[in-house]
Amino acid sequence: MRELFEDHYDADVSLQPECASARYKLALCAAVAREMRTVADAAGTKLLFLVVPSRLDVCEGFDLGWIDPQRWPDWERGRLPAAIAAVVRATGVAYLDLYQAFRAGGACELFFRGGDSHWNEQGQALAARLAAGRIRGEAWLE
């Protein structure tokens, strides 16, 4: 049952951004984000989207897969989180794109190793600090 806990990289969005499946995924993401905004607005609740980068975009090298730029010349590191950020930006909801912070904050040291591509305690702590700063900056708790 491992596949239930694995986050798959949206390679189509990153490697072939104009293909039908990439456009479909982004349209689906946009529809979900708009619905989340509608629900939050109806409940009078603030909403903050976090754009979480994949370790494939953040790390230069990793023990769990990588993308060969010779084979995929259209690949751009960071294209996937940028596409998601554009989708959520269009909703008008506050968002925080963690891509640059993760690239600058230790990159591969923010993720587990040994077959687990999720962020570790360091990555979670960095994201929590940045999200808390954004929430304080918006004065949502006052």
pLDDT of 17 reads: 86
pLDDT of 22 reads: 92
pLDDT of 48 reads: 95
**Positions of the chain with pLDDT under 50:** 1, 64
H helices present in the chain, as ranges: 11-15, 20-43, 55-58, 79-89, 99-104, 121-137
What's the pTM value of the predicted model, to 2 decimals? 0.82
**Alpha carbon distance 82, 93 (integer Å):** 16
pLDDT of 1 reads: 44
**Alpha carbon distance 15, 11 (integer Å):** 6
Burial class (CB in 10 A: 0-12, 13-18, 19+), 90: exposed
34-49: pLDDT as tens digits = 999 999 999 999 999 9
**Alpha carbon distance 66, 69 (integer Å):** 9
